[in-house]
Amino acid sequence: MNYASSIISPIGKITVFAEDDFITEITFSEKAIDKIEESALTKTVATQLEDYFRGDLKDFDFPIKQKGTQFQQEVWQNLLTIPYGETTSYAKFSAHHPLAIRAIAAANGKNNIAIVVPCHRVIGSGGKLVGYAGGLWRKQWLLQHEREISQKGQTELKF
């Protein structure tokens, strides 16, 4: 069965989708959820996202499962290792597969679990914001928010 919950965040409406025991998508896009019920899991995730935006939560603890190839799954697992409040470049992120930098970037772009699988923490090698399905302004907001909360690095991104 499918479930969904939504929150209004400082960067717009966020909708959480689940199938039974796993979160399958967290998105900024407008999707109709009129006939979809909430579940205990989607409500928990909505609460954790609200805590994240208040600055009270840095690590999420709920089961996720998104559809993708084995390569995409590996990329998404690697995204989970980027610490809160920090960034990495696509070049560093793909150091274990240097010839696959474009494929890694493409897999990063197919991530359907925004914020929790922190694809927003991957930036261009020159420090520029590049590619974010939710929009670069959201990426900048998320990075600045995490830096302010963690007190790591500069509190305002300069690009």
- List the beta bridge partners of residue 18: 3, 23
- List the beta bridge partners of residue 37: 3
Is residue 119 part of the annotated active site? The answer reads yes
CA distances from 137 to 17, 76, 113, 148 (A): 23, 22, 18, 16
Neighbour count for residue 11 (Cβ, 10 Å) = 19
Catalytic residue (one of 11, 46, 119, 122): 119
Q: Which residues participate in catalysis according to the annotation?
A: 119
